[in-house]
Amino acid sequence: MIQTRTFKYLRPASWMLMLIFVFVSFQCTEEPYEPDVNGAIKGQVRDAESGVPLGNVTITTQPATSVAVTGADGNYIISKVDTGEYSIVAEKTDYNSKILSVRVNEKDTSRVVILLSASDNSGTSDISFKDNFMPGQGAEGQAISPTLSWKAEGDQDVDSIKYDVWLYPSDAPTKRKVAENITDTSLTVEPLTYNSVYYWQVSASSNDGKEIYSKTMSFKTKAISENAFFFVKKTGGDYEIMAYDMDRDEVNPLTFNSFRDWAPKFNPKNGRIAYVSDSRVKPYIYTMDKNSGDIRQVSEIPVAGYHNYGNAFDWDEDRGKILFSHNQSLYQINSEGTNRTLITKAPDGRHFREVAVSPDGSQILVLTIGQKIYNSEIRVMDRDGSNEQVLIDSLDGVVQSPSWSIDGESILFTHDVSGNETEEGRMLNSHIFSLDLATNDTTDLSGNKPQGTNDMNPRYSPTGAQIIFSNAPNDDSRAPNLYIMDHNGNNREKIVTGGTLPSWE
């Protein structure tokens, strides 16, 4: 009653003030102000002698932003440029290139008039570039190891023309020369970054030392598909992270190190892949975006323990954490690597070897192991390490690879049903099993497995309708291949030759 009477007798002006206050508060909460930190560069290019506007002049910046080409009126504009210091480069056939400095200020347009002088080509061979550059200006979806190609023509023998080539990403502070004094008219470059813009340019030198420059062009590399899974493949003596594009049916490498990059685990919430690398001898956790960029080391101690090759970590997606083990200890850290906290410890004489967080983030599935590789067990506990229960224990033969179903009501694991127990942990007949957590019933999903092979590393597909896994002969006569099958073990199908440890989120 007190509240009702109070609001009833508010004056109209008070009502208006209250509504304005509520409206402003709501707007501030839902749409926070974000300052504009961009500017623009615009201007005109003219002939230095006649003052006539020049069309078809290529305008670029260093650091690179975007490419502009002047119209017939000589005008150009480059919009949405981050604030800071830039060099403007103007290039046109038969004119000397020119570089000017400019500062771009917040919410401001910097105006720059550029005067180009005609080049002195007297006494030089008549060299010019044909307009057949590959990739051409604005090309998209390019391979990360593209072949750049071009062609020059002139009065002299074209086979004697020498070329310099520049290639640099859009955020590079200066141009980078990737080839010098070559006679070939094509160049395959080292792996670039996916989903990134690059600029490139070629110069041609004649026998008498005169030089001409091509226009500066840009292209964009392809992005990793949304419909992709990640895995490990041995290339030479190294292990690299790969992405399999299911739309294009192609494998794309994500790492290119002379190290063991291992156990990719994709987090769809933040679009990043966690993995381990022994580039510092021991396996530390790193993350990168799904297009292989922005690589960061996030663990200050290695993932280690009995027979632990770096698999013992997982994302806690909703909390923005990564869980990992170091010998007997199970830790969590923030996704950027800060605030390491102990969750729990393994039983005496045992280490954690594998870790998996449940889909709802409420439980942790772990594989603990003794000094002998076949002395393994699977446990489940609450997210804080309490209420620990043993799910799988005292089976003859190697047990490994526990993972959750999509609904969190069952788990997958592998067991070498041959019961073979050797020091090196060789498996003779590893099967994939499903364990119903409510009934404790297990189902063998490897009934259609070829004899003499091992099924390993099972993970459910994002919908739970399929399982992805690796299969290899038990004599190690070839590398594992990746397969998918229905959730009940039917319709086995090989999808990638050479691959293991898949992550399909």
Backbone angles phi and psi of 402, in degrees to 5:
-70, 140
Q: With b meaning 16 or more CB within 10 Å and e meaning fewer, what string describes 165-179?
A: bbbbeeeeeebeeee
Cα separation, 327 vs 214, whole angstroms: 58
Q: Is 4 helix (H, G, I), strand (E, B) or coil?
A: helix
pLDDT digits 0-9 by tens, 409-418: 999 999 999 9
Domain segments of the chain as ranges: 1-119, 128-221, 224-297, 309-503
Element (H, E) at 23: helix 12-30
**Burial of residue 247 (number of CB atoms within 10 Å: 0-12, 13-18, 19+):** exposed
Residue 171: band (very low, low, confident or very high) from pLDDT cuts 50, 70, 90: confident
Token representation of residue 272: 């990043």
Element (H, E) at 437: none
Q: Measuring CA to CA, which residue among 284, 332, 113, 282 is closest to residue 274? A: 284
Which fold is adopted by the domain 309-503? Neuraminidase (2.120.10)
Residue 155: band (very low, low, confident or very high) from pLDDT cuts 50, 70, 90: low
Domain 1-119, CATH among 3.40.109.10, 3.30.70.2340, 2.60.40.1120, 1.10.1060.10? 2.60.40.1120
Domain 128-221, CATH among 2.60.40.10, 3.40.50.300, 3.90.1200.10, 2.60.120.260? 2.60.40.10
pLDDT digits 0-9 by tens, 453-505: 999 999 999 999 999 999 999 999 999 999 999 999 999 999 999 999 999 97
pTM over the 0.85 mark:
no
Check whether 32 has a pLDDT greater than 80. Answer: no
Domains 128-221 and 309-503 share a fold: no
Which pLDDT score, from 0 to 100, does residue 390 have? 97
